[in-house]
Amino acid sequence: GGPAMAAVRDVEIDPEGTFKYILVRLQRPGGEEQRDIVRGTKAAEFHNHIFEKVNPEMEKLGYECKCLGGGKIDHNSKDRKIRVFGLSTGYGKADHSVTVEILKKVYPEYEITWSDDKK
């Protein structure tokens, strides 16, 4: 991949708390190159708020974005635990197992789990 794709961080989530997240697929228009990134923040009341922030940032870098779904992340930095669960009403449920694999790259020392529980 080019330097721009490398410059995009795999994960940008709040350091603490429970918040909404989305799984986003980046693709070069007309290209085969693609990757999935995780974005989540307490600042977002709805999942589409996250996408509306990510999408223009990525378009500037020359990527097409597609939201693959969403859910919630519970990030406990003190105990080094992350729990992925829930779903997005608008985007549907992300594949949490994919999200967990991406999170593990960035938080290798964490215990990271997922479930389809709503809470």
List residues forming the annotated binding site for substrate. Answer: 20
User: Is 49 considered catalytic here?
Assistant: no
Spot the catalytic one: 47, 49, 75, 96: 47
Q: What is the separation of C-alpha 79 from the centre of its chain, rounded to a whole number of angstroms?
A: 21
Determine the Cα angle at 97 with ends 119 and 64, to 5°.
105
SS3 state of residue 60: helix
Annotated binding site: which residue ranges? Answer: 20
Q: What positions carry a catalytic annotation?
A: 47
